[in-house]
Amino acid sequence: MAYIIVQMNETGNIRKENQIRYVFENEGLAYLTKIFQNESFEIKKTNNYSAIVISMIHKAVGVPDEIKDSLFTKLKHLALSEDNEMIYLSSYTLSQLAECPDNHPFIISSELPAILRKNISSNSIHLIGNGIKLALNLLYCGSDGANGIVKEGVPLDEIRELSQEHENEDEYEEIFLLSKLLSEWLQFIS
């Protein structure tokens, strides 16, 4: 289900709510929240996937107060895990949740620099993109307090390298543009 929502969500619109959210507002979200909060599942990934789906539903909007702490704690834990699928999905959703300034106090924490470094230093083009988008969304939509923590977490040497053109590597075009933008933004806030 998480992958379905990821595909539906790939519109490129910044600070736009996820359209599938309206589908879940009629009791669907309540059931997902119960699954997320239920620790008795034998398969722990059930809780993880429910956290991911709840997060994707809340793209660019604030997460409900009753689950904010536990949801962001779960996402940051997953982003630092060794499970590549969960790292990808959690960093993807964190970058989307960062489009809403109401979520920033729950994203910006002592774990954020490690999450940014892990993603941007990855060998996966998708994780690199998620890390850069998370940093950019926090800088673009955030406060001055976010700037220092983002700057601490972004590996500048790797961003500089990524912002160099990669000949004949079309898959790096988006990364090239995003890293160039992030590099310029970080120079501006110095």
Residue with tokens 């779960």: 74
How far apart CA 10 and CA 161 sit, in angstroms, is: 26
- CA–CA distance, 141 with 127 (Å, rounded to integer): 21
User: 2-188: which CATH architecture?
Assistant: Alpha Horseshoe (1.25)
pLDDT of residue 95: 95
Global pTM?
Answer: 0.82
Residue 139 pLDDT > 80, yes or no?
yes
Q: Regarding predicted confidence, which is higher, 75 or 27?
A: 75
The CA distance from 158 to 175, in Å, is 11
- Find the mean pLDDT for residues 137-166: 88
What's the average model confidence in pLDDT over 99-114?
A: 93
Predicted pLDDT of residue 8: 46
Q: Which pLDDT belongs to residue 27?
A: 63
**Mean pLDDT of the chain, nearest integer:** 83
Which tokens hold the place of 76?
Answer: 């940051």
Condensed to tens digits (0 to 9), the pLDDT of residues 8-66 reads 445 555 555 555 555 556 566 676 777 777 777 656 788 888 888 888 888 878 898 99
Give DSSP secondary structure letters for the chain: -HHHHHHHHTT--TT---TTHHHHTTTHHHHHHHHHH-TT-SSTHHHHHHHHHHHHHTTTSPPPHHHHHHHHHHHHHHHTSS-HHHHHHHHHHHHHHTTSGGGHHHH-STTHHHHHHHHHTSS-HHHHHHHHHHHHHHHHHS-HHHHHHHHHHS-HHHHHHHTS--TT-GGGHHHHHHHHHHHHHHHHT-
**CB neighbour class for 165 (10 Å; exposed up to 12, middle 13-18, buried from 19):** exposed
Residues near 174 by Cβ (< 8 Å), separated by ≥ 6? 129
